Amino acid sequence: MWVIYQLLIQKKLGLPAECLFISQICVVLLTAPYLAAYTVHTSLLSTRFNANTAPATVGLLTLSPLSSGRYLLRQLVMSQVPVFGWVLLSTAVVLFVTNVPFTKAFQMLMILGIYSISAGAVGMWGSQVFKDVLFGAELATLLWCILIGSAFLINPFKRYIDDFQPVIPLVLHLNPLIVVCCLFEGFDIFRNPALYDLTPVTSYAYMFPKPWYLVGVWQLVIGGCCFLGTWQMCRSRAYIA
């Protein structure tokens, strides 16, 4: 977190409080997928192959599809306990070293919790797609890089597309870092001199998502879809069936 914070400060991308919250989001998006992928992947393998625990566990989970769903959800939430603890500690530090109002810190705490579960679900899904923990976490990281960098990735298409206006709301709603711009009035990361010419977004009239938690809702939708995909794959592969 400190390395990311220092990079943001050196580039003058925001005030200390804004850069700290952006750093928190980056750390959560990087760590949550791996923790969930590792926990769920190893748990499902042990359920399948451990002769001592598998019969009882599988017997419980085959009672209904909801049982297997609750099992996966429990594993997902438990995998994020270290992230939740770190988020609480780092947010307390932010409150101590900055003049951020408690209300905004609490809102960021909620968003970080949502991002943790959502990112964990994506990592969990990736681990089942590739049947590998590391590849699953890397898939989640790739997804967040695309969503965060989408405002800049569309820049090369300016020669082919005359009007980006219909695309801009989608870019802003799906970018997990935009929630910082929603919470801190007057903070517009795209208007920063270091980034202004790197994206076509600044050439159009745009508004950040309102209410502020709408960005979190979209992340929950992404995580929910990945969770359902994991659930179906596990059942079809007889990990939980």
Each of the 241 residues of the chain gets a pLDDT tens digit; together they read 778 888 888 888 888 899 999 999 999 999 999 999 999 888 776 655 454 444 555 544 554 667 778 888 999 999 999 999 999 999 999 898 888 899 999 999 999 999 999 999 999 999 999 989 999 999 999 999 999 999 999 988 888 888 888 899 999 999 999 999 999 988 899 988 888 888 889 888 889 998 889 999 999 999 999 999 998 887 776 544 4
Residue 191 CB: number of other CB atoms within 10 A?
Answer: 12
- Which pLDDT belongs to residue 240? 45
**Full-model pTM:** 0.89
Question: In which region does residue 206 sit, left (phi positive, over 0), alpha (psi from -120 to 50) or beta (all else)?
Answer: beta
Structure confidence at residue 43 (pLDDT): 76
Q: What is the pLDDT of residue 155?
A: 87
Q: Which of 35, 50, 5 has its CA nearest to residue 23?
A: 5
Vertex 238, ends 236 and 241: CA angle to 5°? 95
Q: Look at residue 7 in the predicted model and tell me its pLDDT.
A: 85
What are the residue ranges spanned by the domains of the chain? Answer: 2-236
**Sign of the dihedral defined by the CA atoms of residues 82, 133, 135, 78, in that order:** negative
80-88: long-range contacts, CB 8 A cutoff, minimum separation 24:
80/32, 80/35, 80/36, 80/116, 80/117, 80/120, 82/35, 83/28, 83/31, 83/32, 83/35, 83/116, 83/120, 84/113, 84/116, 86/27, 86/31, 87/24, 87/28, 87/112, 87/113, 87/116
Sequence-distant (≥ 6) Cβ neighbours of residue 62 within 8 angstroms: 68, 240, 241
Quick one: pLDDT at residue 99? 86
CA angle 139, 142, 144 (to 5 degrees): 115
